[in-house]
Structure 1
Amino acid sequence: MNRNDRAITGLVMLAHSLVHTYEFVFPVFIPLWLSQFGTTEAIVGAIVGIGLSLFGLGAPLAGVLTDRRGSKPLILACLFGMGGSFVLLGLSSTIAGLIGISQLSMSGIAIPTELGVVTIALIVWGVSASLYHPAGLSLITRGVEARGSAFAYHGTAGNIGTALGPLLATILLFFLSNNWRVVALILAVPALIGVAYAVRINVNETAAVSTATDGGTNETESGISSLSEFFSLSKTLLASAFLVVFSIVMFSGLYYRGVLTFLPSLLGDIGIIAPIEFYGRTIEPANYLYTGLLATGVGGQYVGGKLTDRIPVELGLTVGYAAFGVVALAFLPITALGLIPFVLLLALLGFVLFFVQPFYQATVADYTPASVRGLSYGYTYLGVFGIGALGTPLAGAALTYLSLPYLFGLLAVIGGAAAGLSLYLLTAERNR
């Protein structure tokens, strides 16, 4: 890596780790919100769902802004907005007190005013976080020459944040007597420090893409200057092989949310993972296994990133998504074999869940022009986090109205569909 590569890689590692740190802190706060606000899972779930959906729904607009304004300003805005959202969370009680109204009424449902402030904070987080992936991934593919290594380090940083977020929040809550407001204020500090650090970094955002010198169009300049051109370029993208890539990442998002959202409770229901009494306190091994599963994603991200420079990305996708299907089909039978085989399966699940991410990120770069790279990644994360968010209600419906085998059967079908589309891309590429 040259100096510019290292500067870009350091910036995106910082931002990526913080995005996923904050994303996985919210589930730790949810039980406290339920007990302190005296509300229902449906209301809190809807509120949190708003923020998570904006994480994906805002990505196409973030892609357009990336192509027009560059990546670094959006990364700075992302960090500042996420830090500000956690400051807002931490001050939610004070702000609610200043408003002077104890409850808000929405569609006949009474909601504590502080919970309304929490909702605004989650909206701020979702909008801010949606800026990152189109900006960060565009910066890597347009500015870094050693792209595979950058993807590896970038993905590894994201997974460290994914595992560190819930662990850090849990530890802070333990020492601060479950005062989630103070914890939120403490967690705001890394993002605000990150803003101060990122401002000082100088990068060449287009160092890795060619610039036309023969009077032709500069590939790095965006042509998106109006709404009509946005629709025109979107139509062109979705009429190309990128539509297949978009479908693949959509299935990836459905599997990701479908398997992770309810996994902690599912692990707690499995007989081989029983709670442990330790000096009068109950330890839930399922929570630690869940954190461990997320931590194994570090290895998956790193290996996948390194392999994007060594094997066809379509082959990596095919193998990875085929493994999705195999893990889903093997999940329940493996539970009958004992704890060690089951833990190994969980480790494999964590590995492959994140192994595919560098491959589909690199595939987007291979199947789109640099001039609309931001827009391309915007649609990518609309598929992963926007449409992919439907994996949560799909899994919930399967568990509520059907049974556990149906859930994992559905996940196997989703993994198989993604593997089939990836194989189609691989075959088409070889026949080109």
Structure 2
Amino acid sequence: MTAASQTFPISVPLKQDATIIGLVGLAHAASHFGHLLLPPLFPVFMAEFGLSFAQLGALMSVFFVVSGLGQASAGFVVDRVGARPMLFAALALFALAALLASTVTGYSGLVLVAALAGLANATFHPVDFTILNQRVSAPRLGHAFSAHGLTGYLGWAAAPVFFAAITAMSHWRTAYVAAALLFVGVLALMLVQRDKLTTQVEVHHADRPVEHSMAFMKLPVVWWCFAFFLFSTMTLAVVQSFSVPILKAMHGVSFEAATLTLTAYMLCGAVGMFVGGFVAAKSQHSDRVVALSMSAAALLLALCGAGFFGATLTMVVLAATGFAVGIGGPSRDMMIKKATPKGATGRVYGLVYSGLDTGFAISPLIFGVFMDRGWYAATLLGAAAVLLLSVVAALGVGQRTPAGT
């Protein structure tokens, strides 16, 4: 198995790199926007269709299961047909999911929307990183990964505001029609700029031995990468799902203040991603940068869970945790790149990033039990402990990555 004979220059003009990074960043923001296609309107669905919290939670389970299974498979397709067709298909599927959401009349329709959105979401990481790794010059890859992570956070931040504003001004069904048009607009831009999104595909030569397409799964480093995403995402899921009720229960803060803290966490994460791009561009030891940043975040989470601080300082420290995690984001992606065998970018990124979906799927189930029993401090301490496991995984990746890659 080898790459196609087509090659792209190692060093390209800044404008070209910036255009590619911008296009991929926009696509990534769209995927994170689609990630929150349903949750912002959960209260509306409860009132409109008489749904329970358990039913709403199951919708996200459907999303993550479909996304996780699809992501592990999508990487194989990306390596065979290229990233660009898969990107176009994913944006079209998100547009279709949003349009379908505008017409649902009950729970079964929402389940179908969740599954369709999960299928759309499945392709983005193998697509995005295949394009970035092949089309962006090496000295700018750290900044490319930084921008990629930053735009993802912005997509998360935009979705609740978008749906809340349009629903308030018109109707929730109108908000979904607008979302469908938004995805169509992004797809149209990608079609216009399609020459910037071409990638190499794997080809076989009769005079060379063919390596099995599943051979990469025998590499221990790939599974250490998967473990890193699994553990680090479990902690993120705790913060996203439970930080608001934890702050209210432990410190009696208002719903508005607790929600603002979660928003601050996301914004600090975005700032951390930006700064982390410069760190990743300079560092030769991506795994150590990741380990240090995740260790700092775990310490901050543990301090919040231990109850050493009052309400205000706890909110500040929790928000600062996002910055620590963000710092390691670009180095994390660089770490995965170094561990990826040549010609298997889509497959490796698809598999290891399915650990993200797995973490999002199982973390609420585990820590939801803690929350139901009123173990609020233990939930934060548990999230810190899981994040430390991601530190072990990151160092394990570094130890198993060939020198000089």
Normalising to structure 2: TM-score of the pair?
A: 0.87
Q: Distance in 1 between matches of 2:210 and 2:263?
A: 40
Identify the match of residue 201 of structure 1 among 184, 193, 202. Answer: 193
Q: Distance in 2 between matches of 1:20 and 1:431?
A: 34
Identify the residue that residue 266 of structure 1 maps to in structure 2.
246
1:224 deviates by: 9.1
One-letter amino acid of the counterpart of residue 28, structure 2: H
Identify the residue that residue 214 of structure 1 maps to in structure 2.
none
Describe the shift of the 1:194–1:224 C-alpha distance in structure 2 as closer, same or farther (beyond 3 A). Answer: farther
Identify the match of residue 24 of structure 1 among 36, 41, 64. Answer: 36
CA displacement, residues 142-176 of structure 1 (integer Å, 9 cap, x when unaligned): 21112112112221111111111112222223333
Q: Distance in 2 between matches of 1:413 and 1:65?
A: 36
Whether 2:384 is the aligned partner of 1:392: answer no
Q: Distance in 2 between matches of 1:367 and 1:266?
A: 37
Identify the match of residue 155 of structure 1 among 140, 149, 153. Answer: 149
Identify the residue that residue 164 of structure 1 maps to in structure 2.
158
Q: Distance in 2 between matches of 1:206 and 1:195?
A: 15
Q: Distance in 2 between matches of 1:64 and 1:323?
A: 35
Describe the shift of the 1:80–1:328 C-alpha distance in structure 2 as closer, same or farther (beyond 3 A). Answer: same
**Any stretches of 5+ residues in structure 2 without a counterpart?**
1-12
One-letter amino acid of the counterpart of residue 242, structure 2: F
After superposition, residues 28-47 of structure 1 pair within 5 angstroms as 28-47=40-59
Identify the residue that residue 8 of structure 2 maps to in structure 1.
none
Whether 2:224 is the aligned partner of 1:244: answer yes
1:400 deviates by: 2.2
Identify the residue that residue 89 of structure 2 maps to in structure 1.
77
One-letter amino acid of the counterpart of residue 107, structure 2: L
Q: Distance in 2 between matches of 1:161 and 1:85?
A: 17
Q: Distance in 2 between matches of 1:16 and 1:428?
A: 29
One-letter amino acid of the counterpart of residue 419, structure 1: V
Q: Distance in 2 between matches of 1:336 and 1:239?
A: 44
Identify the residue that residue 109 of structure 1 maps to in structure 2.
none
SS in 1 for 2:391: helix
Identify the residue that residue 118 of structure 2 maps to in structure 1.
126
Identify the match of residue 117 of structure 1 among 103, 109, 112. Answer: 109
Identify the residue that residue 309 of structure 1 maps to in structure 2.
281
Identify the match of residue 202 of structure 2 among 222, 228, 231. Answer: 222
Q: Distance in 2 between matches of 1:258 and 1:183?
A: 28
1:138 deviates by: 1.2
SS in 2 for 1:263: helix
One-letter amino acid of the counterpart of residue 174, structure 2: V
The question of whether the paired residues in 1 share the 8 Å contact of 2:130 and 2:345 is answered with yes
The question of whether the paired residues in 2 share the 8 Å contact of 1:324 and 1:352 is answered with yes
In our comparison, the structure showing a higher alpha carbon Rg is: 1
Identify the residue that residue 106 of structure 1 maps to in structure 2.
none
One-letter amino acid of the counterpart of residue 59, structure 1: Q
RMSD over aligned CA atoms reads 2.7
Normalising to structure 1: TM-score of the pair?
A: 0.82
Identify the match of residue 256 of structure 1 among 230, 236, 254. Answer: 236
One-letter amino acid of the counterpart of residue 214, structure 2: S
The question of whether the paired residues in 2 share the 8 Å contact of 1:257 and 1:388 is answered with yes
One-letter amino acid of the counterpart of residue 248, structure 2: G
Identical aligned residues as a percent = 20
1:199 deviates by: 0.3
1:335 deviates by: 6.5
1:318 deviates by: 0.7
Identify the residue that residue 349 of structure 1 maps to in structure 2.
321
